[in-house]
Amino acid sequence: MRFIYKPSNKYDAPFDPKRCAQNVFWGYRGHQCTRNGKYPDEDGILWCKQHHPDTVQKKKDEWRRKFDAKQMASSAKSERRDAEDKFCHGVSTEFLKENSLSDILERDA
């Protein structure tokens, strides 16, 4: 998603085609990015390195990858907790505190 600066009233600065086209927000208003437009996209619109659509997409993909990894870790943790709950169902906390898992398994073997 590209946010290209467009003046919304006569007080806004005109669009400068030599600068990065990104609409950045500060002071409750949109402004054109102050950096030079060095990197054209497929439509020939100029961007700074930070706001180039490819960079933005890469950042989004990286965020998504980290988010998914966190979700996977969290669901693995909760699966393990569920399995532990099932394994210990009906066993008193005192018994679990007094006996190690290896002792219990050895006893049953």
| Distance between CA atoms of residues 58 and 51, nearest Å | 11
Using CB under 5 A as the binding rule, whether residue 21 contacts Zn ion is answered as no
**What is the nearest approach in angstroms of Zn ion to the Cβ of residue 57?**
15
Continuous H helices in the chain: 53-87, 93-98, 101-108
Task: State the nearest-atom distance from the C-beta of 62 to Zn ion, in Å.
Answer: 19
Residue 31 binds Zn ion (CB under 5 A): no
* Position 46 contacts Zn ion (CB under 5 A): no
CB–CB of 5/26 below 8 Å? no
- What is the binding site for Zn ion (CB under 5 A)? 20, 22, 33, 35, 48, 51
